[in-house]
């Protein structure tokens, strides 16, 4: 019987999941809240806000990210535990095989069990990675819906001709540069957080 090689695909898969979790949970650091001011743009103006700042300073976004990170880290730990268990079993099998401590029939049976274990761990890791992606999408949808709903209601009161959203630090797009009086980011952050506190109060 051919020696069963150490199976590294599981380890690689676990690494991918770990990196995905880190990538999905980036941006959770909350920036210090700026001085909250009223928007000074006039009715009918075209205004804009910075989405990066909204996502960093909106309390609801930070709370949802915190919940997501907890779930993602818990999933990653369980995947890693199963990977480690498989590695230990595979190494033990390989060691016994190298030392001639197993009969050919026993080695065949144990080798088949390890292959089944590998498939089980791979399936579990893939399933959990998909769950993480779905959890992230739900989180993003909740944040996006809350922001869009608030911005629509806000504009009903302010009567702006158009509200643009910009992102990026070095060369933000689509608003590369604009009059500071047209930037309503501070007003939106203040309003979003106030609305979130009010909504949380209703649920408690």
Q: What is the mean pLDDT of residues 118-138?
A: 96
Q: What percent of the chain has pLDDT over 90?
A: 71
Q: What is the mean pLDDT of residues 77-81?
A: 96
- Enter the pTM of the model: 0.72
- Which H, E and C letters describe the chain, residue by residue? CCCCCCCCHHHHHHHHHHHHHHHHCCCCCCCCCCCCCCCCCCCCCEEEEEHHHHHHHCHHHHHHHHHHHHHHHHHHHHHHHHHHHHHHHHHHHHHHHHCCCCCHHHHHHHHHHHHHHHHHHHHHHHHHHHHHHHHHHHHHHHHHHHHHHHHHHHHHHHCCCEEEEEECCCCCECCCCCCHHHECHHHHHHHHHHHHHHHHHHHC
- The per-residue pLDDT for 14 is 44
**Model confidence pLDDT, tens digit, residues 132-181:** 999 999 999 999 999 999 999 999 999 999 999 999 988 899 998 889 99
């Amino acid at each position: 019987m051919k020696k069963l090689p150490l199976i590294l695909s599981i380890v690689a898969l676990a690494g991918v999941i770990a990196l995905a979790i880190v990538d999905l949970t980036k941006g959770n650091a909350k920036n210090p809240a700026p001085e909250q001011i009223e928007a000074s743009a006039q009715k009918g103006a075209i205004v804009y806000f910075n989405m990066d700042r909204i996502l960093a300073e909106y309390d609801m976004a930070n709370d949802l990210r915190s919940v997501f990170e907890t779930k993602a880290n818990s999933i990653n730990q369980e995947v890693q535990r199963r990977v480690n268990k498989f590695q230990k079993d595979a190494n033990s099998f390989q060691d016994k095989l190298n030392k001639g401590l197993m009969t050919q029939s026993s080695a065949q049976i144990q080798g088949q069990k390890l292959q089944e274990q590998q498939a089980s761990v791979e399936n579990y890791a893939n399933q959990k990675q998909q769950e993480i992606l779905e959890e992230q999408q739900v989180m993003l949808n909740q944040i996006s819906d809350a922001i869009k709903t608030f911005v629509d209601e806000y504009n009903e009161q302010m009567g702006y001709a158009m509200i643009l959203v910009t992102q990026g630090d070095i060369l933000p797009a689509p608003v590369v540069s604009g009059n500071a009086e047209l930037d309503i980011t501070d007003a939106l952050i203040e309003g979003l957080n106030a609305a979130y506190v009010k909504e949380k109060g209703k649920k408690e």
